[in-house]
Structure 1
């Protein structure tokens, strides 16, 4: 009987932690940093039991409304001035948490996911370059140690990242101009990857107090 009461007690506490469900902004491609001439699609994902329910959407950049016709998907080719926090909202609904889009003017860019990285997550990094160039060779480094030499693959993948794999990641690319094969340059970019700990919520039940309150019911 005491086990059943413990299950009920746990269910009541979990129920109290519930709240309104916020929409979530996602990027396609799923990178938090892009080059100024890349195209990106921002999607406002709203959890619902009725997927076909019609909605009106509003988009915000740095907490200011984005003018124009608002749809679930917001597609554009950003400039450096479009760097900032993006949020979405439906009529009568909660506003999403901000998601930062970093737009840079670079020839080579080490791309990373837009969201925080937690232990156990898969992590993919991409060594990206401007369309003006052809790629010859790509290499990846962690804390100045080469981790993946490559002739053609511009991505580095970790299936289950650990906190010990936090550090400074860098990629280098040998590139040549489309119209000038003799002009080869090596460029690089780097980013610090911080892997966060998953905080597991623990339910502490004081056995003595629990049994003293419910000993009469367990008869």
Structure 2
């Protein structure tokens, strides 16, 4: 796919939806007036993952009502490396039904690979069902990109020290590229896969200063220009 937005774009996304990705990150997003993409696994609702409480149905309904995008992350948070194409398709369909029943017929149009795992046999399944799939390969999407496995950076405590966020944001602006950030929990003491409120706030402020558009993944897709 071609990546040709009128100006650089940042998309913020949260995978699995730990409860704090809404209760802690939601107010920060609202303060800045930006929308994000939340990648949901119906099978995680009301449970625990990485010993953290996950979202409840009312959290999903609240973030949807606030204008955030809901994307697919399989039903059971399964690596596509362990699923046949038929089993993957069944998981996607189960998740689609689960979300539709709770969000009044809502249809998810974007996908994120659990664990960032991507398999060649899975990509046609994703490309056939969704506008795009997001992976975890570090980088900015610019010029041309694989719409079934878009690059992203980790808004994660284990990865953030290795990034020069200011440089990445400026490169996105200069190249008129698309920078996608993904995270999980948001707290003062995040897991290795999460970030702090300050981390999220900093990235949004850097993007604003560089005059990037900040859009959910699905909306950003519509700005890519072909």
Q: Which has the higher strand share?
A: 1
Task: Kindly name which structure, 1 or 2, has the bigger radius of gyration based on alpha carbons.
Answer: 1
TM-score by length of 2: 0.23
Where relative contact order (Cα < 8 A, 6+ residues apart) is larger, the structure is: 2
TM-score by length of 1: 0.23
Q: Which has the higher helix share?
A: 2
